[in-house]
Amino acid sequence: MSDKTHLVDEITGHRRMRRNRKADWTRRMVQENRVTVDDLIWPIFIVPGENIVDPIKAMPGVYRLSVDKAVEAVKEAADLGIPAVAPFPDIEMNLRDATGSGILDPNNLINRFTSAVKKSVSNIGVISDVALDPFTSHGHDGILRDGVILNDETVDQVVKAAVLQADAGADIISPSEMMDGRIGAIRRGLDAAGHQDVGIMSYAAKFSSGFYGPYREAINTGGLLKGDKNTYYVSPANGTEALRDAALDVEEGADMLMVKPGLPYLDICWRVKEAFGLPTYAYQVSGEYSQIKAAAMQGWIDEERVMMETLLCFKRAGCDGILTYFAVDVAKKLAKA
Ligand code: PBG
């Protein structure tokens, strides 16, 4: 019998959501999503030289590592069970030029990292980004002529670079420059070079975002960039356009899709997963990481709690995994639990 002294409705008052939340064991029984180490992809910054562990100011806890140090770190990540790493190179300024020609050096920093990892670490995948921005003197992802980022010329170069990255041992090529037609072109290029088993994780929906700020400090592209990337990245205002862009990538042969940034774009994650059913990943980008770190360092939020909550939210939004700078911290925490 309902208690007439309370305002809870007599009929609906029988439907009590709190029954399933009443104890730790009921909460575990009804838990719909979980973060596991298999969900983690670790983006890692590489610098030339040896024995270098260089902190990135805007990303406390994240370092630029020389290849030798990076290989040690990747070994640790593999031992923790992290399935893949995604290297981003901080290229020497004197090797950057207007066309990003350094990306065509088979022995460039990203390829040296990949072959070193493949030589000495087993059981971890290398997901190799193939945009030109670390290699250009203007910080754009493509070839710049007369103020315009050239689509088809950039794609030609990206295809060649992708083949070199696969030659170096990259397991998955991950084009992030948002040129049109790149996925199909890369697929044909890889196949022609005998790399049928190398996959493509497309940055299917990459938004023109302010959340990339700290990353640009990490690889020193921020100071170089003139203007913005609005002529090739998707506007944060446009969800349906992002879906059309992803649809083209699926048609052209992407094996996996990525949404970037992550948390402010969970609607896109959900829509992409629902629409295509492909393995779908979110990139929790540098600005998302730094926001959490900064607030935690002020004592305003509980870092570990918020870190785990954000990752769980990606899972709830349909993601199969997350690229996150927290990957190693999370893997360690999960190993302890
Ligand atoms: C560009 C690229 C970006 C990031 C990785 N590759 C964006 C940009 O600089 O425009 C951002 C990653 C991050 O913020 O963590 N190809």
Nearest CA to ligand 1 atom 8: 212
The span from the CA of 79 to the CA of 77, in Å, is 5
The average pLDDT across 68-92 equals 98
Where residue 182 falls (left for φ over 0; alpha for ψ -120 to 50; beta otherwise) is: alpha
Torsion of CA 168, 107, 46, 216, to 10 degrees: -110
130, 199 contact by CB (below 8 A): no
130 CB under 6 A from ligand 1? no
Residue 10 is predicted with a pLDDT of 72
Report if pTM > 0.90: yes
- Work out the mean pLDDT of the chain and round it to a whole number: 96
Nearest CA to ligand 1 atom 6: 176
Structural domains of the chain in order of their starting residue, each with its CATH number: 37-336 (3.20.20.70)
Cα–ligand 1 centroid distance for 182 (angstroms): 18
Residue 5 confidence (pLDDT) = 77
- Backbone φ, ψ for residue 263 (5° rounding): -55, -40
Q: How far is residue 168's CA from residue 107's CA, in Å, rounded to a whole number?
A: 8
Confidence check: pLDDT of 2 > 90: no
Q: How far apart are CA 68 and CA 71, in angstroms?
A: 5
Please check whether residue 271 is in contact with residue 317, taking contact to mean a CB–CB distance below 8 angstroms.
no
Q: Is beta strand 63-66 parallel, antiparallel or unpaired with respect to 40-47?
A: parallel
Catalytic hit among 57, 75, 118, 206: 206
| Residues 329, 290 contacting (CB under 8 angstroms) | no
What ranges make up the beta strands (E) of 76-229? 84-89, 125-129, 143-145, 148-150, 172-174, 199-206
Task: Summarize pLDDT for 13-69 with one digit per residue, the tens.
Answer: 778 899 999 999 999 999 999 999 999 999 999 999 999 999 999 999 999 999 999
In angstroms, the CA 119 to CA 145 distance is 39
- Distance between Cα 212 and ligand 1 center (Å): 6
Angle between helices 67-80 and 327-336 (to 10 degrees): 30
Q: Which residues does 191 contact at the CB level (< 8 Å), separation at least 6?
A: none
CA dihedral 294→211→83→307, nearest 10 degrees, is 30
Residue of 4, 22, 226, 260 marked active site: 260
